[in-house]
Amino acid sequence: MRSGPADVKVAVVGHVELVRFGLVDHVPVAGEVVHAREELEEPAGGGAVVAVQLARLAGNAVLLTALGEDEPGRRSLTRLRELGVEVHAARRHEPTRQAVTLLDGAGERTITTFGKRLEPVGDDDELPWRELQGMDAVYFTAGDQFALGAARAARVLVASPRARGALGHGVPLDALVLSAQDTIERREAARAQEEAELVVLTEGGRGGTFNTRMPVGSGSWQAAQPPGPVIDTYGCGDSFAAGLTYALGTGADPASALQLAARCGAACLTGRGPYEGQLSRSGKPL
CB 65 within 8 A of CB 94: no
Q: Kindly report the average pLDDT of the chain as a whole number.
A: 94
Q: Can you give the pLDDT at residue 107? A: 80
Spell out the residues 6+ positions from residue 66 whose beta carbon is closer than 8 angstroms to its own: 15, 89, 90, 91, 92, 118, 119, 120, 121, 124
Residues 97, 98, 101: CA angle, nearest 5 degrees? 145
Q: Can you give the pLDDT at residue 203? A: 95
Q: How many CB atoms lie within 10 A of CB 36?
A: 14
pLDDT in tens, 67-122: 999 999 999 999 999 999 999 999 999 999 999 999 898 888 899 999 999 999 99
Spell out the residues 6+ positions from residue 4 whose beta carbon is closer than 8 angstroms to its own: 58, 59, 60
| Mean predicted confidence (pLDDT) in 130-148 | 97
Cα separation, 261 vs 26, in Å, equals 29
Domains of the chain (ranges; CATH) run 10-27+36-268 (3.40.1190.20)
pLDDT in tens, 229-271: 999 999 999 999 999 999 999 999 999 999 999 999 999 999 9
Residue 226, pLDDT above cutoff 60: yes
Which of 136, 162, 170, 153 lies closest to 245 in space, CA to CA?
136
- Give the orientation angle of helix 71-82 with respect to helix 45-58, to 10 degrees: 20
pLDDT in tens, 170-196: 999 999 999 999 999 999 999 899 999
